[in-house]
Structure 1
Amino acid sequence: LMTSLFNSSQEIVFVLHGLNVTQTNRHIYFVFILILYLFIIFMNLTLIFIIVLEKMLHDPMYLFICNLCINGIIGASSFYPKILYDFLFDSHLITYIGCMTQIFVIFLYVYCEFTNLSVMAYDRYVAICKPLHYHSMMTIRKAWTLLFLTWLLSWFVCSIGCVLLARLPLCGVDIDKLYCSSWAVVKLSCVDTTLNNLYGLILMISHFSQVILILISYVNIIKASLRSRVQRRKFMQTCLPHLITLVNFTISLLFDVIYSRFGSNTSLLALRNIMAVEFLVLPPLLNPITYGMNLSQIRNIVKEMFNRKVADLS
């Protein structure tokens, strides 16, 4: 009976069970989350516009940072608008199409983030370990090609994941999370989900391999950096923000994956929510701040723009 009830995707409306706040607190949370979302959009857009408008920043490294900010906006926008709507209208529902769209965008954000960080690691490896060959090995054209392949690969991988998810007939509509996630929907399936679990494992191995490759490249970068003061300065300015971004994103995602699979439903709701949304909240917030603060070229341009505005106002 349940299978026949939920095997038509048009009839399904999922119930999200992550929210449990009072009427008064709801509006406080709404204002706080709205300010946070607008701040994330502002910070990422500021960095994007600075890189696009300043010709001296039209280097491969800055293009990859720009892409990281674009992806950050996509990741934040996969979560914030829906949670804001839920707080404002006290809604805990999401349609099947809405749920699948949210899963696809989150998938895309995660895969693109890891792939972009891998490409950035390659760029930094060439810049520090092979400085004389950097401009011939990492041209603007090659950077654009790598960015195109990053998005194409991410889109392809995420499309397969969503197709595998969409084929599952469902025996329930209750999602114990603030948003739709692949694993939460897989758990509602009435049939064998071995194929989905296998694909999830392949994705995890893929992400783990990317992290290992990045770390290997950084072992070589650190070795090369120890040889001279110039290389050490270059490492501190351009590689340290990248490492901070990688560690931040990997740990945040790992929290969610481990907790969603092995965490207890009886534990504190606030703790579950924090662990589930960390990878959607922290990286888009911290990435533009980390790069803006650490990269002297960006920092100097921001100071120059700010001083110009102050001078115009006075």
Structure 2
Amino acid sequence: MGNVSVITMFTLSGFNGTANLRLTVLALTLLCYFVIWLVNVTIIMTIIINRNLHEPMYILLCNLCINGLYGTSGFYPKFIGDLLSGSYVISYAGCLLQGFVLHSSACADFSFLVLMAYDRYVAICRPLIYHALMTTQRVCIFVFFGWFVPFYMLFMGTITTVNPRLCGSHIPKIYCVNLLISNLACSASIAKTIIPAFNYTFYFCHFLFVIWSYVCLIKMCLRSEESRSKFMQTCLPHLVSLIVVVACLLFDLLYMRFGSKQLSQNVQNFMAIVFVLIPPIVNPLMYGFKLRQIRIRIQKCICSKKSDF
């Protein structure tokens, strides 16, 4: 127990390999963060301003884009600040907060993609009762739980992470992850095993629901040309977004548990930031280009701006 101490600051040792590339990484990071804000705010404002887009699918899409901005705010400002200052440390409270924001955002991403899958299932497989099921009140309830459930589950997970007695202060990443904080604890805790296991199981059930809904959708599309057209227009971008989010999260999760230490630090860093880089850009771009109503309204807005000049 001689190595046990009260830790107040963590060192993000993932930055060790970025010293020689700091300016290049900073420029690319600023560009990526600007693009993320541009594409997500464009989709959000387009949906908010146009009353014709105040429908369940677009409301859920708007929340998905808001969540993209929320999640990236937990990483990019701190990362940019670290690159500018050259000081790669974070307080215990700041580390817990960053881990909470990143994890809750990832879970909320999954929640809204599942709700969008349910919306598409009802629209295509149960079109006659769609408006009876997807009422404004029910959509508001869906949105509330889409935010509340991930926040509550990750809050409980973060509480179990809090431990003043740690046996280390180095986090081998460029941002904080609750799992890595737990690994620094000197003693094991049942709660630290049960709660993450429950969370993983809960969201794995989400994934199974999405698979079931798409099996039903594909069956329906094989019967009807109209259903096939709806699937290509609205379900295809959702399916691509879902695959991107699941792949990025699994990529990061499996790497944290089974990643090879033989990889260079720069490769490890890239693997670590995939889920805060690709989904926040791909999701709004995919929907912006594929969904006709959003694409038309964005084009009209751009054309009106050009005509003003």
Identity %: 38
Give, in whole Å, the separation in 1 of the partners of 2:235 and 2:98: 32
TM-score, normalisation: structure 1: 0.95
The number of equivalent residue pairs is 308
Partner of 1:186: 182
Give the partner amino acid of 1:67.
N
Q: CA deviation at 1:233?
A: 1.2
Task: List per-residue Cα deviations over 1:263-286 (Å, max 9, x = no partner).
Answer: 122322122112211111111111
2:14 maps to: 18
Residue 98 of structure 1: aligned partner = 94
Q: Kindly indicate whether the alpha-carbon contact (under 8 Å) linking 1:69 and 1:284 is maintained by their aligned counterparts in 2.
A: yes
Q: Aligned to 2:264, which of 244, 265, 268?
A: 268
Residue 152 of structure 1 is matched in structure 2 by 148
Residue 108 of structure 2: which of 112, 125, 133 is its match? Answer: 112
| Per-residue Cα deviation, 1:47-98 (whole angstroms, up to 9, x for no partner) | 0000000000000000000000000001111111111111111111000011
Decide whether the 8 Å contact of 2:237 with 2:286 is kept in 1: yes
Q: Which residue of 2 aligns with 1:2?
A: 3
Is 2:296 aligned against 1:304? Answer: no
Q: Give how far 1:105 is off.
A: 0.5
Q: Would the alpha carbon gap of residues 80 and 2 (structure 1) be closer, same or farther in structure 2, given more than 3 Å must change? A: same
Residues 1:67 and 2:68 are matched in the alignment = no
CA distance in 1, matches of 2:135, 2:193: 39
State the distance in 2 between where 1:116 and 1:33 align. 26
Q: Match for residue 130 of structure 1?
A: 126
Q: Counterparts of 2:193 and 2:232 in 1: how far apart (Å)?
A: 40
Distance 1:133 1:87 in 2: 53
User: What's the counterpart of residue 246 of structure 1?
Assistant: 242
The SS at the match of 1:267 is coil
SS of the equivalent of 2:165 reads coil
> Residue 305 of structure 1 aligns to which amino acid in structure 2?
C
- State the match for 1:56 in structure 2: 52
Q: Aligned with 1:19: secondary structure?
A: helix
CA 119–168 in structure 1, closer or farther in 2 if over 3 Å, else same = farther
CA offsets, 1:162-186, max 9 Å, x none? Answer: 1100146211100000100011111
Q: CA deviation at 1:21?
A: 4.6
Whether the aligned pair in 1 keeps the contact of 2:18 and 2:266 (CA below 8 Å) is: no
SS in 2 for 1:180: coil
Report the CA distance shift for 1:22/1:94 in structure 2 as closer, same or farther (over 3 A): closer
**What secondary structure sits across from 1:222 in the alignment?**
helix
TM-aligned CA deviation for residue 22 of structure 1 = 6.0
Aligned to 2:168: 172
Contact 1:168/1:191 (<8 A) preserved: no
| Structure 2 residue 218 is the aligned partner of structure 1 residue 222 | yes
Deviations 1:107-144 (A, max 9, x none): 21011111111111111100000111101111122111
Instruction: Supply the AA of the counterpart residue of 1:32.
Output: L
- Aligned match of 2:137 in 131, 137, 141? 141
Query: Which of these residues, 195, 199, 211, is aligned with residue 199 of structure 1?
Result: 195
Shift of 1:259: 0.9
Letter in 2 for 1:18: G
Runs of 4+ that moved beyond 6 A: none
Is the CA contact (8 Å cut-off) linking 1:238 and 1:295 kept in structure 2?
yes
The unaligned stretches of length 5 or more in structure 1 are none
Query: In 2, distance between residues paired with 1:262 and 1:24?
Result: 28
Task: Tell me how far apart the structure 1 counterparts of residues 164 and 110 of structure 2 sit (CA, whole Å).
Answer: 27
1:16 counterpart letter in structure 2: L
Structure 2: distance between partners of 1:31 and 1:205: 39
Which amino acid letter does the alignment assign opposite residue 196 of structure 2? G
Partner of 2:80: 84
Counterpart Cα distance in 2 of 1:193 and 1:22: 35
Shift of 1:159: 0.9
Following TM superposition, by how much is the alpha carbon of 1:102 offset from its aligned partner in structure 2, in angstroms?
0.2
Gaps of 5+ in 2: none
Task: Flag the 1:231–1:156 CA change in 2: closer, same or farther, 3 A.
Answer: same
| 3-state SS of paired residue (1:125) | helix
Structure 1 222/42 Cα, relative in aligned 2: closer, same or farther at 3 Å? Answer: same
TM-score between the two structures when normalised by the length of structure 2 = 0.96
